[in-house]
Amino acid sequence: MLELSEDYEDLRRSVQDFAQTAVAPVSAKHDEEHSFPYEIVQQMGEMGLFGLPFPEEYGGMGGDYFALALALEELGKVDQSVAITLEAGVGLGAMPIYHFGTEEQKAKWLPDLAEGRALAGFGLTEPGVGSDAGGTAATARLEDGYWVINGSKQFITNSGTDITSLVTVTAVTGMRENGKKEISTIIVPSGTEGFTVEPAYNKVGWNASDTHPLSFADVRVPEENLLGQRGRGYANFLSILDEGRVAIAALATGAAQGCVDESVKYAKERTAFGRNIGSYQAISFKIARMEARAHAARAAYYAAAQKMLAGKPFKKEAAIAKLVASEAAMDNARDATQIHGGYGFMNEYPVARHYRDSKILEVGEGTTEVQLMLIARELGLA
């Protein structure tokens, strides 16, 4: 599947051109100012990137998830903050509505989300819970036809922008007969009384993406804001995460390839002891190994996407892709920084931003350890 069809290749080239001409020139500015790139998001919406995997009836482009992954790879080469804004906006924000929403919910929320006029957050992670999402502590009880939600969430992307329209929240809605928690998902529109978007985090990287902790104090939303079947919230979000790992792997592949591209360019321009540094085996072999990592990462996420689109089980392949690609991004960022020397430590250089940005790729959407656990389980190991 490494050979792209004409339609996929046309999309890839279109996003590549946009990334290089529109995104890259403003990346350093938004990173330094920790400012959200509203103008870039608007342009991505006009290009149809937020609607790539959704049907036209909901404002989408009628494409598929692999098309989204290709776009994420190209954006990830130059600006991970922009790429994660798209990934979270589609994979974590709009996808739950598309997969599990009623026709009324889809009609109400999806067009704006698919056309990039609005963003949505994915309210899963909580303080003190992290990877153990089954340990959800936020609660929601039915009272006079309303869900009353209490609790808090953390590390929620796209939750506090000027165009954020909603956050989907996992909450405990009861207890099962076996004593386990019944976890459901509920749509909470932005601006609902008692729903507070706390001040943004001061992050190591992804400085131009929007990330906040959220708190819910007796937040009341109509009973019909239940997303999907009651008690299926945790299971539904696990399926969303499987898809999301393919998307994150694509983003990470882009970051890994971006480090290769910048290093090749620098190695051809920079001279030392009378020669371009790329002519020295120590540098050329390092870049060759970087290219091999990026290639392997691309092959891994292509394979996962192929099984996903074919309707076959892809949990193991998604975990492998996420594992391989995130480690490739981090390893390549480290090597690219070394190749650039002192310049690699300057934030205006893309490799410096990749060095700061890439670490979260080994943490978000399931840590490296979670991916290893999932792979081992799929192999039949305890």
Q: What is the pTM of this model?
A: 0.96
Distance CA 312, CA 179 (A): 33
pLDDT tens digits, one per residue of 113-156: 999 999 999 999 998 776 666 689 999 999 999 999 999 999 99
**Chain centre distance of CA 166:** 17
pLDDT tens digits, one per residue of 161-208: 999 999 999 999 999 888 789 999 999 999 999 999 999 999 999 999
Amino acid 156: pLDDT: 97
Q: State the DSSP H helix or E strand holding residue 6, giving kind and residue range, or none if neither.
A: helix 6-18
Distance CA 39, CA 10 (A): 23
Amino acid 314: pLDDT: 96
What is the domain partition of the chain in residue ranges?
6-119, 121-230, 235-378
Amino acid 354: pLDDT: 98
Triad 240, 243, 249: Cα angle to 5°: 135
What is the full per-residue pLDDT of the chain (382 aa) written as tens digits?
578 999 999 999 999 999 999 999 999 999 999 999 999 999 999 999 999 999 999 999 999 999 999 999 999 999 999 999 999 999 999 999 999 999 999 999 999 999 999 999 999 999 877 666 668 999 999 999 999 999 999 999 999 999 999 999 999 999 988 878 999 999 999 999 999 999 999 999 999 999 999 999 999 999 999 999 999 988 888 888 899 999 999 999 999 999 999 999 999 999 999 999 999 999 999 999 999 999 999 999 999 999 999 999 999 999 999 999 999 999 999 999 999 999 999 998 999 999 999 999 999 889 999 999 999 999 999 7
**Is 115 considered catalytic here?**
no
Domain range 235-378, CATH class: mainly alpha
CATH of 121-230, picked from 1.10.10.10, 3.40.50.1010, 2.40.110.10, 1.25.40.10, is 2.40.110.10
Residue from 104, 269, 365, 369 carrying the catalytic annotation: 365
- CA torsion sign for 217, 366, 252, 49 is negative
Instruction: Quickly name the fold that domain 6-119 has.
Output: Butyryl-Coa Dehydrogenase, subunit A; domain 1 (1.10.540)
Amino acid 312: pLDDT: 96
User: Which amino acid is residue 273, in one-letter code?
Assistant: F
